[in-house]
Chain A
Amino acid sequence: MAQPFLAPGIAWALVVIFSVLWIALGVSWGRKGKGDADDYMLAGRNIGLALSTATLMASWVTGNTTLLAPEFGYRNGLWGMFSYALAGLGLILFAPLALRIKQLMPAGRTSGDFFRLRYGRAAWWVFMVITAIYTLGFLMTQAMGAGILLEALSGFDYRLGMVVVIGVSTIYTLYGGMRAVVGTDFIQSLLIMVLLVVVAVLAFRQFPAPEVHRELVASHPGRLNLLLPAGLLIAWNSALFSMGEVFHNNIWWSRVFASRPSVVFRSFVFGGLAWMTVPVVTGSIGLVALAQAIELPQVNMVFPVVASQLLGAGGAAMVFVVVFASLTSTLDSLLASTADLVAEDVVFKLLNPQLSDAELKRATRLVVIGLGVVTLALSWPRLDSLASVLFFTGALVASTIWPVAYGLYWRSANRVAAIAAMVAGSVCGLLAYTLIAPYCAALISAAVSALVMAVGTQLWPESFSWHILKEG
């Protein structure tokens, strides 16, 4: 195994400090509020602009954003950074829809509520299959990423690192619910942003941007080419993939329901814009490594390598904290919002509509534990290639963009067309993934889904009553 960047003693100290901090704060914030199911699942539905924006930022900054984006910069140059940054469009373009959701579904709890009430139970099943595949893949990549990254950064055993990150996220989500998630996300997002700024400023003080540019022009001019055709295609696919992720997944819908109506629109726009700077900053670190011909044991380790080579043990410690905060802030959001979805849509609305408020809260807590255990079990065997496999879910999630958008704005949106759009979009996207290229999957899926939704609604218009969504 390659030499870790950080001494295990320092790594353990950081893990203990931040684990205790997250759990203590999470449990403490969880005691606020009325203590009913709505409070546990949606933090009292009244969070302000600061927490709402920060939780969007923190949830969208995954382990990949801090480690894969520098690799994109290193491998593909400016277009690699820009294409990764375009994933922030998913949040920005969801802003008007978020406001519409808040107006149409003041009592809603999940994205599943929307599909069931707007398009019926059959469409809900299709949506649940898509979101289950995507969410499990997302949970597993974060869990495996935790094990792999902590091993590379600090020499922790793969399974130990995974158990620590999942264990800590599960404990404070279990005790504090959405309040714990949103509160810790605020601190985690600030930590991530501040430490990234420090690492980048110190790196560019040692190797100023003009010097990096001069070296790139001399040795890797292709990385500075702004007319890279593949770059344009990857960028559009990245934007559509992120739209599919945000438009359908309950992580983002739960933030809409949890936020105060007056801040919903602004938090998605501000969160998306702020997030877009992160892959560009981390991607530019990849270009520093390339320009300085820094030797890399693995290309996805470019960020920790640059930080530790340029800034010593302090740099490695900062990267460790950034990665730990990124992983826990994404995992807690996934656990909380997926538990909300399973408890509300499956346990309550499908299996036992007579459930009391206290029983619903207990069910949500049990699902949080269950998800933590399932994630651990599925991620126990290490699969290094899983991150690339996750990209195939782009074909699935991009097929939900138009059914969601049509369903929120067009009274005439046809429910059979919504089902056909999701199925046809997913199938064609998967075919494109296999037969053409992975970065075409989301593009083809969204295009086919749009066509089916538009034609179906035009030929067989329905007349939906918006007040049905208020029941959510």
Chain B
Amino acid sequence: MLAMTWIAGSTLFELVVVGSLVGLILAVLALLLIWWIEWRRGRIW
């Protein structure tokens, strides 16, 4: 059987690594920003 192969290139690999890290950092910042806005408006709970 012919094995299907598509090896991810260096750029794509870096994109996955850096992209997931940037996504995680943005999630932390967004969560803190939303919390701060809601806290100022007294809308946390």
- Asked if A pairs with B, the answer is yes
Q: Is the CB of A226 within 8 A of B8?
A: yes
Q: Is the CB of B45 within 8 A of A280?
A: no
Size band of the A side of the interface?
35 or more
Q: Is the CB of A50 within 8 A of B34?
A: yes
Residues of B within 8 A of A216 (CB): 13
Could you tell me which residues of chain A, from 249 to 300, have a CB within 8 Å of some CB in chain B? 260, 270, 273-274, 276-278, 280-281, 284
Q: A46-B45, A179-B45, A193-B27 are in contact. Are A224 and B13 (CB under 8 A)?
A: yes
18 residue pairs bridging A and B, Cβ less than 8 Å apart: A43-B45, A47-B44, A49-B34, A50-B34, A53-B34, A57-B27, A193-B24, A193-B28, A212-B17, A216-B13, A224-B7, A225-B7, A270-B30, A274-B30, A277-B23, A277-B24, A278-B24, A280-B16
| Bound form: Cα–Cα A200–B2 in Å | 37
Could you tell me which residues of chain B, from 2 to 39, have a CB within 8 Å of some CB in chain A? 4-8, 10, 13-14, 16-18, 20-21, 23-25, 27-28, 30-32, 34-35, 38
Q: Is the CB of A197 within 8 A of B28?
A: yes
Among A46, A221, A224, chain B packs the most CB atoms within 10 A around the CB of A224
* Complex A-B, nearest 6 residue pairs according to Cβ-Cβ distance, in ascending order: A274-B27, A50-B35, A280-B20, A277-B23, A227-B4, A50-B34
Q: Which of B6, B7, B21 contacts A217 (CB 8 A)?
A: B7
Q: Is the CB of A281 within 8 A of B20?
A: yes
Query: Chain A 184-203, CB within 8 Å of chain B: the 1/0 string?
Result: 00100110011011001100
Other A-B contacts than A190-B31, A260-B43, 8 sampled, CB-CB below 8 A, are A48-B44, A78-B13, A209-B13, A209-B17, A273-B23, A277-B21, A281-B24, A284-B17
Q: Which of B4, B16, B35 contacts A229 (CB 8 A)?
A: B4
A411 on interface, CB distance cutoff 8 Å: no
Q: Is the CB of A78 within 8 A of B45?
A: no
Q: Is the CB of B7 within 8 A of A274?
A: no
| Bound form: Cα–Cα A259–B43 in Å | 12
Q: Is the CB of B14 within 8 A of A213?
A: yes
Chain B residue with Cβ nearest A200 = B21
Q: Is the CB of A226 within 8 A of B6?
A: yes
| Bound form: Cα–Cα A201–B17 in Å | 10
| Bound form: Cα–Cα A273–B21 in Å | 13
Q: A190-B32, A277-B20 are in contact. Are A225 and B6 (CB under 8 A)?
A: yes
Q: A53-B31, A270-B30 are in contact. Are A196 and B24 (CB under 8 A)?
A: yes
Q: Is the CB of B8 within 8 A of A197?
A: no
Q: Which of B8, B32, B38 contacts A49 (CB 8 A)?
A: B38
Chain B residue with Cβ nearest A216 = B13
A421 on interface, CB distance cutoff 8 Å: no
Q: Is the interface of B mostly helix, strand, loop or mixed?
A: helix
Q: Which of B10, B21, B27 contacts A201 (CB 8 A)?
A: B21
Residues of A within 8 A of B13 (CB): 78, 209, 212-213, 216, 224
| Bound form: Cα–Cα A284–B19 in Å | 12
Q: Is the CB of B18 within 8 A of A209?
A: yes
| Bound form: Cα–Cα A78–B15 in Å | 12
A51 on interface, CB distance cutoff 8 Å: yes
Q: Is the CB of A186 within 8 A of B35?
A: yes
| Bound form: Cα–Cα A281–B18 in Å | 9
A204 on interface, CB distance cutoff 8 Å: yes
Chain A residue with Cβ nearest B35 = A50
Residues of B within 8 A of A229 (CB): 4
Among B13, B23, B30, chain A packs the most CB atoms within 10 A around the CB of B13
What is the CB-to-nearest-CB distance from A278 to chain B, in angstroms, rounded to a whole number?
A: 7
Q: Which of B8, B14, B16, B21 contacts A210 (CB 8 A)?
A: B14
A121 on interface, CB distance cutoff 8 Å: no
Residues of A within 8 A of B45 (CB): 32-33, 43-44, 46-48, 51, 179
Chain A residue with Cβ nearest B4 = A227
| Bound form: Cα–Cα A217–B11 in Å | 13
A54 on interface, CB distance cutoff 8 Å: yes
Chain B residue with Cβ nearest A186 = B35
Q: Which of A46, A54, A204, A221 contacts B7 (CB 8 A)?
A: A221
Chain A residue with Cβ nearest B25 = A197
| Bound form: Cα–Cα A229–B6 in Å | 11
| Bound form: Cα–Cα A43–B45 in Å | 8
Q: Which of A54, A186, A210, A260 contacts B10 (CB 8 A)?
A: A210
Q: Is the CB of A194 within 8 A of B28?
A: yes
| Bound form: Cα–Cα A50–B38 in Å | 8
Residues of B within 8 A of A204 (CB): 17, 21
What is the CB-to-nearest-CB distance from B42 to chain A, in angstroms, rounded to a whole number?
A: 10
Q: Which of A48, A212, A226, A281 contacts B38 (CB 8 A)?
A: A48
What is the CB-to-nearest-CB distance from B24 to chain A, in angstroms, rounded to a whole number?
A: 4
Q: Is the CB of B21 within 8 A of A197?
A: yes
What is the CB-to-nearest-CB distance from A318 to chain B, in angstroms, rounded to a whole number?
A: 14
Residues of B within 8 A of A186 (CB): 35
Residues of A within 8 A of B30 (CB): 270, 274
